[in-house]
Structure 1
Amino acid sequence: MVLEMAILQVIKGEEVYFEKDFAMASQIIQSISGYISHSLSKCIEAENKYLLLVDWEKLEDHTIGFRTSEAYLEWKKLLHHYYNPFPVVEHYEMILENRK
């Protein structure tokens, strides 16, 4: 499994619209082969900052399967105009996990 991580800086004053459009965009990403789950968290200290985490079966499910799909064009249309600056997206592999 691969974890995609992005810090999303949303243009101030656009947070409510972003959250509404993100809910619609969630349906898009869920349709992609290799998608496992995702979460969006809002920063407590900075109201226009969000953390996006997406679990993929493998890296290529995101970098090729999603990013080269028609679905990604819809995702882009819904969300990319909210970001300033555009987010850096990184991918991580699990080394250790503990849960209580």
Structure 2
Amino acid sequence: SHETACLLNASDEDAEVRITLYFSDREPVGPYRLTVPARRTRHVRFNELEDPVRVPRGTDYASVIESSVPIVVQHTRLDSRQAENALLSTVAFPAG
């Protein structure tokens, strides 16, 4: 199983992206910082995020993704815990 954020930067400037994770039973972690070059896409697997801390496995969380320029975020979750895999994908929306 894994969760991925597909980040699309269609602008002419590099996007400086910050990801913060929120939990039901602990304080938020982050920001995880990364760059999406201008006119490019970047796929980020949440279980590969390590700095400032590894994303805990088996724990529910939500994410807030902020960027220095407008980007499009598609969040995908693949659940392979059973023989019948399940795939869910959704497009995020601006919160501010």
Query: Same fold judged by TM-score > 0.5?
Result: no
Scaled by the length of structure 2, the TM-score of the pair is 0.43
Scaled by the length of structure 1, the TM-score of the pair is 0.42
Higher helix share: 1
User: RCO greater where, 1 or 2, for CA within 8 Å and sep 6 or more?
Assistant: 1
